[in-house]
Amino acid sequence: MTSPYARITELNTHIGQVVRVRGWVTHLRSSGKVAFVVMRDGSGTLQCVLVKVSLPAETWEQYGGLSHETTIEVAGEVRSDKRAPGGVELAVTSLTITGPSPADYPIQPKEHGIDFLLDRRHLWLRSGRQRAIARVRHEIEQAIRDFFHKRDFTLVDTPILTAAIGERSGLFSTEYFDEGTAYLAQTGQLYGEAAAAALGRIYCFGPTFRAEKSKTRRHLSEFWMVEPEVAFNDSDDNMRLQEEFVSYIVQRCLERRRDELIELERDLSKLETVVAPFPRIDYSDAVRLLERKGSGVKWGDDLGAEDETLLVEGHDRPVFVFNYPKEAKAFYMKENPDDPRTVLCNDCLAPEGFGEIIGGSQREDDHDRLLRRIEEEKLPIDAYGWYLDLRKYGTFVHSGFGLGLERTVAWICGLPHVREAIAFPRMMHRLRP
Amino acid sequence: MTSPYARITELNTHIGQVVRVRGWVTHLRSSGKVAFVVMRDGSGTLQCVLVKVSLPAETWEQYGGLSHETTIEVAGEVRSDKRAPGGVELAVTSLTITGPSPADYPIQPKEHGIDFLLDRRHLWLRSGRQRAIARVRHEIEQAIRDFFHKRDFTLVDTPILTAAIGERSGLFSTEYFDEGTAYLAQTGQLYGEAAAAALGRIYCFGPTFRAEKSKTRRHLSEFWMVEPEVAFNDSDDNMRLQEEFVSYIVQRCLERRRDELIELERDLSKLETVVAPFPRIDYSDAVRLLERKGSGVKWGDDLGAEDETLLVEGHDRPVFVFNYPKEAKAFYMKENPDDPRTVLCNDCLAPEGFGEIIGGSQREDDHDRLLRRIEEEKLPIDAYGWYLDLRKYGTFVHSGFGLGLERTVAWICGLPHVREAIAFPRMMHRLRP
């Protein structure tokens, strides 16, 4: 009778039992009499112990055929070992090589250049650090889904292929049958607004695209964005939802992905303080503060990355900057009745200089004002007819925001560049693998 | 002091209290002395009662300004009423129009043609039937996420913009900076296989694209697909995972979206029987069965929609057809060692003639055999170098599948066409709104 297969993460429930484990070799060490094979199976890491005198000669000889990334199947007894990762080790009685790995495996335990690694992203993903990032990213995404599901939001998948939408520059385009040019969506928001009139509270969460020739550490040409839209929320409600949302995500990662964050050498104390409410700074106050700090920013400008870093100095949690000048922001934002030079909007800036992770706003719900803004921006009116309809038939106060997933992953994991925050990053000079 | 706002779905916890409710008018009826306003707020539907003699004249007069889709705010006492939807009604003491709706609201309670409705999809979404579909779709998506999250799968978002991938015909393309042409992904599978070697159990779930000039009721040019990939699963494990997965989704909708399915007039008895295990038919047996049933199919053909309908006849749950001829399927499927004319794969056919909802396979894990298949199919070898690497460095038995979301929504909701299964469908002649 053969022993059952077990995943490494489950082995602590099999102590004293004989099991079989499948996975890949990550480290090898041998004294000539005792050999240690560290393997991973995607669920965890396991130390396997081979003792020469207790093994058939052919099993011991298998050890010589192992290298980094060899796929193996081992059988043996699970033993408790406080010092081992996961608290167990395997006393091996049989070892089979099921997938050899030649000695030229390109990613070695030494420093590699970033382009070398990104060219081999399909293999680089196997490294401990990249696996930890992937698991934190997964947790953040599931936390996002759960947050909205529990609050009775309906997920609405907005289209990627669109006839005309949102911001106009930096669009990828494709021929769409006989319908002319289609553009890859930069946001699902406008569609989300239509859905909010049907379903009240909605969110979309999918890939978005920017064909911008930017090479900063915070830009990808393809990135994921989550965009809730809520009927009857004003700008203030919108910021409350954002701080509750961001706090939930961070606290859940601390609760469920502590091991991964420790592996990433993240300073957990910088995350533990991320609890609502977040400080709020009016844009005009922010400009005054920045002037005092020596920034060259002038009232009317959008804020740059360096300004954002200056603004979060001394704060232990994200900071809202709200009510920017109209010129600095998108056409669909609602004019501020108390200061018509500005719009009812906010950015949410992550602490530690990780920069903007959210942009949000109350939407212009007045048909004629919105029409005027579309004309001022010289947007194609006929493409926005359906969007104007939302203000014609039962207009409603509503607000929403977009949180950039990779920037959030980079912040929570403490990554200097967003390119590691997604499995296969797409940037100006990178379309492969 | 003003009364608190409440969502309609929460009103049964406010019986006897005065609350304010915001939403849109769906139905109006008046005797001249008593008026009924039915409104929706995205969470539910509420009957509001206005009694002329108990109201200030100006409140009663507001009634005359209401029409379909007018946005209103009402205040009043929540009263228990067994006959009303949600078990409550509102005894209105004040009513304010916050967003008028002109009488030309295009979607009226009568039959409209499908193109008329799809041209007004941004408004059509507000109808009861479309809201019910949206909620079932949401539940299916959350069920998918929860199914995999509970089983320790890691979500991996695979890229949309790719240099070269999967099936070759029917690709949308776009210029990608100076890197040449990028294609919109038809599948995330190949990337998922790389991630499975890192993380063991993974899934991707995002939009996929087909530029095919097809006008059937089962095709969209943009649709969502969920694709798990599992290290060390063979084809048999793969089918077990599929039947467990599909059963979970269906049973969860029955449990949590029964009201919506009833609103859609779905025959629930046809869903209640969807429980694993599912019947399995070998492809060759399926062809013999189809021949007996009068189909013109020949061994070697892929199965068409009519064949699929014939095969599920008499079954009360989905049916697997497995191990198709190599020529009918994709290059990456593993050759069947027991019959090298075939590959280790399966389709999963929904009952009631809803057709294929899943395609799955064990992947070819032998480097040289896979290389030969890539050459036979005349695929660009250099674009698949990274994919071949997965067979070079620690190859492993692995399997996965893709479930089409809109087909699954159409089946569970009982929709004759997939175009209603997504908020803003994209088809050959439809890119707007």
Helix %, strand %, coil % of chain A (to 5): 35, 25, 40
Among the listed residues A44, A25, A6, A23, the one whose alpha carbon sits nearest the alpha carbon of residue A263: A44
DSSP A163-200: SS-S--SS--EEE-TTS-EEEE-S-SHHHHHHHHHHHS
B5 exposure class (CB count in 10 Å sphere: 0-12, 13-18, 19+): middle
Query: CA of A137 to nearest chain B CA: how many angstroms apart?
Result: 8
Query: CA of B157 to nearest chain A CA: how many angstroms apart?
Result: 7
Query: CA of B203 to nearest chain A CA: how many angstroms apart?
Result: 10
Query: CA of B12 to nearest chain A CA: how many angstroms apart?
Result: 16
Helix ranges (DSSP H) in B125-220? 128-150, 189-199
Give A105's contacts in chain B (Cβ within 8 Å).
393
Out of B174, B386, B431, name the one closest to residue A172 (CB): B174
Q: Are residues B82 and B127 in the same domain?
A: no
Helix axes A405-413 and A128-150, enclosed angle (nearest 10): 120
Q: Measured between alpha carbons, how far apart are the two ends of chain A, in Å? A: 43
Q: Is B378 left (phi over 0), alpha (psi -120 to 50) or beta?
A: left
For A78-107, give one letter per residue: b (16+ CB within 10 A) or e: beebeebebebbbbbbbbebbbbbeeebeb
Among the listed residues A287, A204, A19, the one whose alpha carbon sits nearest the alpha carbon of residue B423: A204
Q: Taking residues A210-225, what's their average pLDDT? A: 94
CA atoms within 13 A on the CB side of A203: 25
Query: CA of A95 to nearest chain B CA: how many angstroms apart?
Result: 15
Q: Are residues B94 and B170 in the same domain?
A: no
Q: Are residues B148 and B89 in the same domain?
A: no
- B131/A138 Cβ within 8 A: no
Query: CA of A48 to nearest chain B CA: how many angstroms apart?
Result: 18
**A368 Cβ contact list (under 8 Å, min separation 6):** none
For B181, name the nearest residue in chain A, comparing CA atoms only: A431
Give A392's contacts in chain B (Cβ within 8 Å).
101-102
The CA distance from B284 to B291, in Å, is: 11
A109 exposure class (CB count in 10 Å sphere: 0-12, 13-18, 19+): exposed
For A430, name the nearest residue in chain B, comparing CA atoms only: B179
CATH for A200:
3.30.930.10
The CA distance from A316 to B124, in Å, is: 46
DSSP state of A328: G
**B53 Cβ contact list (under 8 Å, min separation 6):** B33
- A70/B394 Cβ within 8 A: yes
Q: What is the pLDDT of residues A68-122, one digit of tens each?
A: 999 999 999 999 999 888 899 999 999 999 999 999 999 988 899 999 999 999 9
Among the listed residues B205, B200, B176, the one whose alpha carbon sits nearest the alpha carbon of residue B189: B205
- A433/B386 Cβ within 8 A: yes
- B162/A155 Cβ within 8 A: no
Q: Are residues B234 and B370 in the same domain?
A: yes
C-alpha distance from residue A176 to each of A168, A430, B181, B222, B425 (Å): 18, 25, 16, 11, 14
**Global confidence as pTM:** 0.98
pLDDT at A269: 98
Is the residue at B116 inside a domain? Answer: no
pLDDT at A200: 98
pLDDT at B166: 47
Collapsed DSSP state (helix, strand, coil) of residue B174? strand
- B432/A386 Cβ within 8 A: yes
The CA distance from A52 to A359, in Å, is: 62
Q: Contact B227/B401 with Cβ under 8 angstroms?
A: yes
- A194/B394 Cβ within 8 A: no
For B69, name the nearest residue in chain A, comparing CA atoms only: A394
- B194/A42 Cβ within 8 A: no
CA atoms within 13 A on the CB side of A331: 23
Q: Are residues A309 and A401 in the same domain?
A: yes
The CA distance from B308 to B330, in Å, is: 19
Element at B103 (helix H, strand E): none
Q: Is B42 left (phi over 0), alpha (psi -120 to 50) or beta?
A: left
Mark which of B67, B99, B131 sits at the end of a domain.
B99
Q: Are residues B68 and B132 in the same domain?
A: no
Is the residue at B282 inside a domain? Answer: yes
pLDDT above 80 for A184: yes
Out of A138, A199, A231, name the one closest to residue B134 (CB): A199
Is the residue at A429 inside a domain? Answer: no
CA R_g for chain B: 26
Q: Between chain A and chain B, how many beta carbons pairs sit less than 8 Å apart?
A: 271
What single-letter amino acid sits at B375?
E
The CA distance from B202 to B193, in Å, is: 9
Q: Are residues A308 and A344 in the same domain?
A: yes
For A384, name the nearest residue in chain B, comparing CA atoms only: B433
Substitution target from A157, A183, A236, A427 for chain B, most B beta carbons within 10 A = A157
Q: Are residues A184 and A67 in the same domain?
A: no
Q: What is the number of other CB atoms lying within 10 angstroms of the CB of residue A283?
A: 24
Element at A407 (helix H, strand E): helix A405-413
Q: Contact A364/A329 with Cβ under 8 angstroms?
A: no
**B429 Cβ contact list (under 8 Å, min separation 6):** A177, A178, A179
For B62-87, give one letter per residue: b (16+ CB within 10 A) or e: bbeebbbbbbbbbbbbbeebeebebe
pLDDT at A10: 96
Q: Are residues A57 and A199 in the same domain?
A: no
Q: Which residue ranges in chain B fall short of pLDDT 50? A: 166
pLDDT at B90: 98
- B172/A176 Cβ within 8 A: yes
The token pair that represents B292 in the structure block: 């007996």
A306 exposure class (CB count in 10 Å sphere: 0-12, 13-18, 19+): middle
The CA distance from B352 to B270, in Å, is: 8
Is the residue at B432 inside a domain? Answer: no
What single-letter amino acid sits at A399?
S
Q: Taking residues A376-397, what's their average pLDDT? A: 94
Q: What is the pLDDT of residues A116-171, one digit of tens each?
A: 999 999 999 999 999 999 999 999 999 999 999 999 999 999 999 998 654 567 99
Query: CA of A287 to nearest chain B CA: how many angstroms apart?
Result: 35
- A194/B122 Cβ within 8 A: yes
What single-letter amino acid sits at A431?
L
The token pair that represents B422 in the structure block: 């997504």
- B152/A135 Cβ within 8 A: no
Query: Which residues, in sequence order, are bridge partners of residue B48?
Result: B37, B90
Mark which of A99, A131, A148 sits at the end of a domain.
A99
Is the residue at A367 inside a domain? Answer: yes
Out of A23, A231, A431, name the one closest to residue B176 (CB): A431
Cis peptide before A433 (omega within 30 of 0): yes
Q: Are residues A377 and A282 in the same domain?
A: yes
Query: CA of B178 to nearest chain A CA: how many angstroms apart?
Result: 7
Give A160's contacts in chain B (Cβ within 8 Å).
160, 184, 207, 209, 222
- A102/B211 Cβ within 8 A: no
Is the residue at B19 inside a domain? Answer: yes
Collapsed DSSP state (helix, strand, coil) of residue A284? helix
Domain that includes residue A66, residue range: 8-99
Is the residue at A104 inside a domain? Answer: no
The CA distance from B133 to B415, in Å, is: 9
Helix ranges (DSSP H) in B219-304? 235-256, 258-263, 269-272, 283-292
pLDDT above 50 for A231: yes
Q: Are residues B162 and B235 in the same domain?
A: yes
pLDDT at B380: 87
pLDDT at B169: 79
pLDDT at B85: 81
Mark which of A50, A65, A99 sits at the end of a domain.
A99
Q: Contact B9/B43 with Cβ under 8 angstroms?
A: yes
**From edge to edge, which strands make up the β-sheet containing B222-231?**
B154-155, B201-209, B222-231, B398-404, B355-362, B345-350, B319-322, B280-282
The CA distance from B230 to B238, in Å, is: 8
Is the residue at B179 inside a domain? Answer: yes
Confidence band, pLDDT 50/70/90 cuts, at residue A1: low
The CA distance from B226 to A349, in Å, is: 33
The CA distance from A190 to A386, in Å, is: 10
The mean pLDDT value of chain A amounts to 96
Q: Contact A301/A291 with Cβ under 8 angstroms?
A: no
For A406-433, give one letter per residue: b (16+ CB within 10 A) or e: bbbbbbbbebebbbbbbbbbbbbebbbb
Give B175's contacts in chain A (Cβ within 8 Å).
172-173
Element at A427 (helix H, strand E): none
Dmax (CA) of chain A: 87
Domain count, chain B: 2
CATH for B72:
2.40.50.140
Q: Taking residues A55-60, what's their average pLDDT? A: 95
Substitution target from B393, B397, B422, B430 for chain A, most A beta carbons within 10 A = B393
Q: What is the dihedral of CA A166, A169, A173, A179, to 10 degrees?
A: 50
Substitution target from A26, A165, A431 for chain B, most B beta carbons within 10 A = A431
Q: Are residues A283 and A188 in the same domain?
A: yes
Out of B7, B105, B159, name the one closest to residue A393 (CB): B105
